[in-house]
Amino acid sequence: MSSDLLLYAALGFAAQLIDGAIGMGYGVIASSVLVATGMPPAVASAAVHVTKIPTGIASGLSHWKFGNVDWAVCRRLILPGIIGGIIGASVIALLPLHIIRPLAALYLGLMGLVMILRAVRWRRQPATIAEPGKRPGLVGFLGGLFDSFGGGWGPIVTSTLVLQGREPRLAVGSANTAEPIVAAVQAAVFSFWLGAATLTTIGNTAAAIMVGAVVAAPLAAFLVNRLPGRLIAAMVGVVLIGLNLPALFALIKLLF
């Protein structure tokens, strides 16, 4: 395996390890690194969504085994998530590169800021019963929409489900179980707009990321209750902002 592929495998390992520890971060971390290496945002997002399919299925099966899935919530996330994902993937694939790159950097930088704020206000949510009036459909739509720009399903869907009063383990399990289905549709949309030939050029990259992520999955499950989530979330936020600063500066110059 070449040194580049080893680095991509390390990226998948680190992203999955962090995601397993705090319930989010895989997509935004992997996308930020790929975009920072010069990969077009649409191609980077496509690569990440391809890798989410097998890793997401493994994660969903694990949550199902341990009873962490609320199937009613999971079902209600999937269709709106698919609709939002189709719209988001089409937008990022069709916009000109000089427009989408700074917009993607702005979004990923904001996700980094969200993670830092979560770290500052970190607290373990008590297990409570969700209010009957809360519906996960809109949450799924927004998660799928913004996830296409380089990650966001976990930060949007999992966090909102918990804030609505759902038991944290069920929020994480239900969101993770629905995610690979949404990701598969998004990958298909990227393939349609970008062309299958474009996606074949990132095949080795996606495979290396997947290998690293699969290796990290059991370790992440082991460490999830042993590492300080506040510290990890803060570090991820700082890394995301740092990776996207060059493109953010370019956007500021463009506007002013």
Q: How many CB atoms lie within 10 A of CB 249?
A: 12
pLDDT at position 83 is 97
pLDDT at position 114 is 76
pLDDT at position 129 is 41
List own/partner pairs for 209-212 with CB under 8 A and 24 or more apart.
Answer: 209/8, 209/9, 209/11, 209/12, 209/15, 209/30, 209/47, 209/48, 209/51, 210/12, 210/51, 210/54, 210/55, 211/9, 211/12, 212/8, 212/9, 212/10, 212/11, 212/12, 212/13, 212/14, 212/15, 212/16
- Rounded to a whole number of angstroms, the CA Rg of the chain reads 17
Written as tens digits, the pLDDT of the chain (256 aa) is 577 889 899 999 988 887 766 667 788 888 888 888 888 888 888 999 999 898 888 778 878 888 888 999 999 999 999 999 999 999 988 888 667 767 777 777 787 787 788 777 766 544 444 444 467 888 899 889 988 887 778 878 877 787 677 777 788 789 889 999 999 999 999 989 988 777 677 788 889 998 998 888 777 666 655 666 667 667 667 777 876 777 677 667 767 6
Q: How many CB atoms lie within 10 A of CB 128?
A: 12
